[in-house]
Structure 1
Amino acid sequence: MKPKQTIIHLPVYQPGKPIDEVKRELGLTEVIKLASNENPFGSSPHVKAAIEAEIANISLYPDGGAVQLTEAVAASLGVETNQLIFGAGSDEVILMLARAFLVPGDESVMASHTFPQYKHNCEIEGAVSIEVPLKDGTHDLDAMAAAITDRTKIVWICNPNNPTGTMNTDAEIKAFLAKVPAHTIVVLDEAYCEYNTTGEFPDSIELIGQYKNVISLRTFSKIYGLASLRIGYGIGHPDVIRSINQVREPFNTTRFAQAAALAAINDQDFIASCREANTAGLNYLEEQFKQLGLHSFPAHGNFIMVDVVRPAADVFNGLLRRGLIVRGGHMLGFPTSLRVTIGSSEQNAKFIAALTEVLAEVPVLV
């Protein structure tokens, strides 16, 4: 049996190494994972109670329309309920966007180094991925606008960008949107938006009110700490959301995920505390990198990409032997860099101590 031709060349997504696997392989008792941009502080304490309450309903299908959660998120954001769609993580909303709007021969514009699921899902649908090089680690919006043609159906902007952590400002996004034709959907993937503290982050809700072709993606996997439950959502014009809903699988989010997300979004004090701790951790790592003579991209999420001036694989493995899992840039198109999740203060300090040791062992590339 032969699969369809559009998927034969596609790589299988490689997540960060699991903690238990590293313990088993290296005989370690303590392992710190700073590879998958998870929240080191977990989730709101109200989440556990919400999940426990749902156990009594384990034999029942979930609400296919996620009505209660939709109402809560809509109220939180100040949008209408028909402007929201939920998925098994924002990953599934990306899949649904590609399925709903792309046909073979269409074009889709994205950055050269960004979240790989954009290209992955576009190519499954037979669309052509137009990859525009980053500029200083950031989306080059002028070049991306110039790459749009009559065949361009979707433009993907990951903001803050994964893996570099860089951000396009409100002014930059507005200038870009003014150049985009109405037939082209612009996806603002804002998985890390809740971490932003600059005051210059785009107001995507305002933009959605102005542009029918703009959709924002959000997730409960990052600052809300619900990564294992797989729930995210898209915000857009009702007509666009209706089209995406037409390809959504029934019951695509679970009762547990919906209940947990509802509890999580109603605890904004927890979110504020996570944002504050993340900012402190980010500032600490940036200062430590400077002291080590290393350059890092300006970071606006809960991770940072640093150039270690050495083969990333060697530094990655050196850290791994010390019980620190990070994301090696050799897997992301940055052969001398690491992407590191911001951890707790204790985890960050242990990472810097281990990194200092590894840098002393691995020679600098000439």
Structure 2
Amino acid sequence: MQPDQLTASNLSPLTPAYDSILTLAPYQTGKPIEELTREYGVSDVVKLASNENPMGCSPRVTLAITEQLGQLSRYPDGNGYYLKQALADFNDVKVEQITLGNGSDDLLDILARSFVGADDAIVYSQYAFVVYSMLAKMQGAMDVEVPAHRFGHDLKAMSQAVQDNPNTKIVFIANPNNPTGAQLEQKELRQFVASVPSSVLVVLDEAYIEYSPESNNRALLDEFDNVIIVRTFSKAYGLAGLRVGYALSSVAVAELLNRIRQPFNVSRVGLAAAAAALADQDFIEKTRQMNDEQMRWLEKQFDTLGLGFVKSHANFIMVEVQVEMEDITAASIHQALLEQGVIVRPLGAYGLPNWLRITVGVAEDNLRLIDTLRSILSED
């Protein structure tokens, strides 16, 4: 037996494809309401941790789901014909430019698996969606984190990072950004795309686009073949529990993505629900109006409480908890809120240990949050 064969035979079946996978920590989701109830026995829970739509979803969605209940034994349309046609009309693109996903996370994963190898690099911003770094590690690739500017993307520095790393395959840009809520102007984003080689894919993660229509960079698809836009039905459309997302790209990129995509990655119920949700733009407008009103109210309350925050263009706001007393930290405030039935998101995993990300809820939920927060701060 040859030495290299001996080495291979001694490998554990649990040896990952890349050592970088061992450095990954499981993604931490927002604490489920059921889990909080089990842990603390709290029955009246307000969840403001996962940027879900507190208004739920369009009534049209409920009807569409009901109509599918008699067909659950049947596989969905693997091509998603009707949803893709609706998305093509809505976004003024060809059907062939669309790829469907099991949520936008699925599409980000498909992109990485389609284009990134172990000798390649992924560029992203500090304080951006943690999944970007995870994807690089999953592929055994180099992850290049560019320092943020005022909690947002520093596009000049990111362009330089691409130049410094000629093996860059993908640049991920979240706009508006999660978890900071920062937004990029269309002009500067176009300049950035024009500055990078056409061989580098620029992935615009527009998960919160419905809350910030001015962040819509659909026009870039007509000018640049290396731009990919990824969106989701999990946020404003209120379908987080069904997991439906989509990507807009050139026909050539979509053709490759659909080779990697699992054939039934969106369920029958998800396809029908997403099509119904897309058709009800009145619901989206009401959602946006409610979010804008409640965001302004929350900003005033945080000012009154003496808490700093970052101006957000999404449906969440990042709040700084910095109190002079050493025993009061964002972690301790988070824990105290949990014990009183209010779930928010700590940001230690993002390198922001003094900050909490708080979803904008309906008026009743926001009042509960502020009253609870005020009580906790006054006690300390």
So what's the TM-score if we normalise by structure 1? 0.96
2:171 to 125, 133, 155: 155
Which position in structure 2 is the counterpart of 1:316?
334
Give the AA of the match of 1:327: R
Deviation at 1:329, TM superposition (A): 2.2
Deviation at 1:219, TM superposition (A): 0.2
Which position in structure 1 is the counterpart of 2:156?
142
Contact 2:127-2:152 within 8 A present in 1 as well: no
Which position in structure 1 is the counterpart of 2:315?
302
SS in 2 for 1:299: coil
Moved more, 22-31 or 187-196: 22-31
Give the AA of the match of 2:126: S
Which position in structure 2 is the counterpart of 1:341?
359
* Aligned: 1:243 with 2:256: yes
Contact 2:86-2:275 within 8 A present in 1 as well: yes
1:351, 1:171 → 2: CA distance? Answer: 37
1:89 to 103, 107, 126: 103
2:284, 2:25 → 1: CA distance? Answer: 35
* Aligned: 1:12 with 2:26: yes
1:227-268 CA-to-partner distances (Å, cap 9, x unmatched) read 000010100111111111111111111000000001100001
1:43-65 CA-to-partner distances (Å, cap 9, x unmatched) read 00011111111111111111011
* Aligned: 1:128 with 2:145: no
So what's the TM-score if we normalise by structure 2? 0.93
Identity, in percent, stands at 43
Structure 2 gap ranges (5+)? 1-12, 324-328
2:134, 2:75 → 1: CA distance? Answer: 30
2:269, 2:15 → 1: CA distance? Answer: 34
Which position in structure 1 is the counterpart of 2:6?
none
Trace 1:57-68 onto structure 2 (pairs within 5 A): 57-68=71-82
SS in 1 for 2:173: strand
1:117 to 107, 127, 131: 131
Deviation at 1:171, TM superposition (A): 1.5
Moved more, 186-195 or 348-357: 348-357
Give the AA of the match of 1:337: W
Which position in structure 2 is the counterpart of 1:175?
191
Aligned alpha-carbon RMSD (Å): 1.1
SS in 1 for 2:23: coil
Deviation at 1:217, TM superposition (A): 0.6
Which position in structure 2 is the counterpart of 1:358?
376
SS in 2 for 1:304: strand
Which position in structure 2 is the counterpart of 1:209?
222
Give the AA of the match of 1:177: V
1:46 to 60, 75, 85: 60
1:286, 1:17 → 2: CA distance? Answer: 24
1:64, 1:170 → 2: CA distance? Answer: 34
Q: How many residues align?
A: 359
1:191, 1:271 → 2: CA distance? Answer: 14
1:54-96 CA-to-partner distances (Å, cap 9, x unmatched) read 1111111110110000000110111110111000000000000
1:189, 1:64 → 2: CA distance? Answer: 24
Which position in structure 2 is the counterpart of 1:223?
236
1:329, 1:318 → 2: CA distance? Answer: 16
SS in 2 for 1:13: coil
1:134, 1:279 → 2: CA distance? Answer: 26
* Aligned: 1:28 with 2:42: yes
2:192, 2:377 → 1: CA distance? Answer: 40
Deviation at 1:6, TM superposition (A): 3.5
Structure 1 gap ranges (5+)? none
Name which one, 1 or 2, has greater alpha-carbon Rg: 2
Moved more, 65-74 or 242-251: 242-251
Give the AA of the match of 1:56: G
Give the AA of the match of 2:341: G
Give the AA of the match of 2:322: V
Which position in structure 2 is the counterpart of 1:327?
345
2:50, 2:155 → 1: CA distance? Answer: 27
Deviation at 1:331, TM superposition (A): 3.4
Deviation at 1:334, TM superposition (A): 1.0
1:334, 1:223 → 2: CA distance? Answer: 26
1:174, 1:299 → 2: CA distance? Answer: 21
Contact 2:128-2:177 within 8 A present in 1 as well: yes
* Aligned: 1:234 with 2:253: no
